[in-house]
């Protein structure tokens, strides 16, 4: 049986690939460079850049210039920048937490990450249903 991707399914597949490829390709390289840098400023700058990139989506939409190509570019660049945050956080934890509490700290980080991955889409889905996707992005 052959399945054919419809227009929107294909677009979502491309978005998924654009989010997945950068961590696979750049992840190993980023760790090498992060070892030589201070973690806190890197994490702050990464969050500021990601915030700016995500804020561009509703801004471009409001200006009626958001195209699929722009969305692809923003997703890809955001994914590249986000790829830096995970290794920076993982390597910063041992610098912040005493060795005896390292396991508990890592468990707490993983728990909150997993909760965010479970709750985030549900909350945004409800928000999209109630106030629409552009307004959720504004929020």
String of b and e for 106-125 (b: at least 16 CB within 10 Å)? eeeeeeeeeeeeeeeeeeee
Is the model's pLDDT at 2 over the cut of 80? no
Residues 6 and 64 in one domain: yes
Which has more pLDDT, 131 or 3?
Answer: 131
91 and 135 belong to one structural domain: no
Give the whole-number percent of the chain exceeding pLDDT 90: 37
Report the pLDDT value the prediction gives residue 87, as an integer from 0 to 100.
85
pLDDT at 85 (0 to 100): 87
Q: Do 36 and 83 lie in a common domain?
A: yes
- Is 110 found in the same domain as 48? no
What is the pLDDT, as a whole number, of residue 76? 94
Angle between helices 68-96 and 39-62 (to 10 degrees): 160
- 19/5 Cα distance (integer angstroms): 19
State the residue range of the domain holding 110.
99-139
pLDDT value at position 6?
64
pLDDT of residue 108: 92
DSSP per-residue codes, 29-74: HHHHHHTTS-HHHHHHHHHHHHHHHHHHHHHHHHTT---HHHHHHH
pTM of this prediction? 0.74
- pLDDT above 70 covers a percentage of the chain that reads 96
- Residues 22, 80 within the same domain: yes
Q: What is the pLDDT of residues 65-113, one digit of tens each?
A: 989 899 999 999 999 999 988 888 888 888 889 999 999 999 999 999 8
Residue 34 confidence (pLDDT): 84
Count: domains in the chain = 2
Same domain, 67 and 129: no
Task: Report the mean per-residue pLDDT for the chain.
Answer: 87
User: Are 111 and 48 members of one domain?
Assistant: no
Looking at the structure, tell me whether residues 85 and 105 fall in a common domain.
no
The span from the CA of 139 to the CA of 133, in Å, is 10
């Amino acid at each position: 049986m052959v399945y054919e991707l419809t227009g929107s399914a294909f677009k979502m597949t491309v978005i998924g690939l654009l989010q997945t490829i950068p961590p696979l390709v750049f992840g190993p390289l980023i760790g090498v460079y992060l070892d030589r840098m201070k973690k806190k400023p890197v994490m702050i700058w990464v969050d500021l850049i990601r915030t700016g990139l995500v804020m561009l989506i509703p801004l471009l939409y409001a200006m009626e210039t958001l195209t699929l190509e722009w969305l692809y570019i923003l997703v890809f660049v955001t994914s590249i920048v986000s790829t830096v945050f995970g290794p920076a956080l993982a390597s910063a934890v041992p610098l912040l937490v005493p060795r005896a509490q390292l396991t508990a700290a890592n468990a707490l980080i993983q728990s909150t990450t997993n909760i965010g991955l479970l709750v985030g889409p549900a909350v945004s889905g409800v928000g999209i249903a109630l106030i629409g996707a552009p307004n959720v992005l504004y929020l």
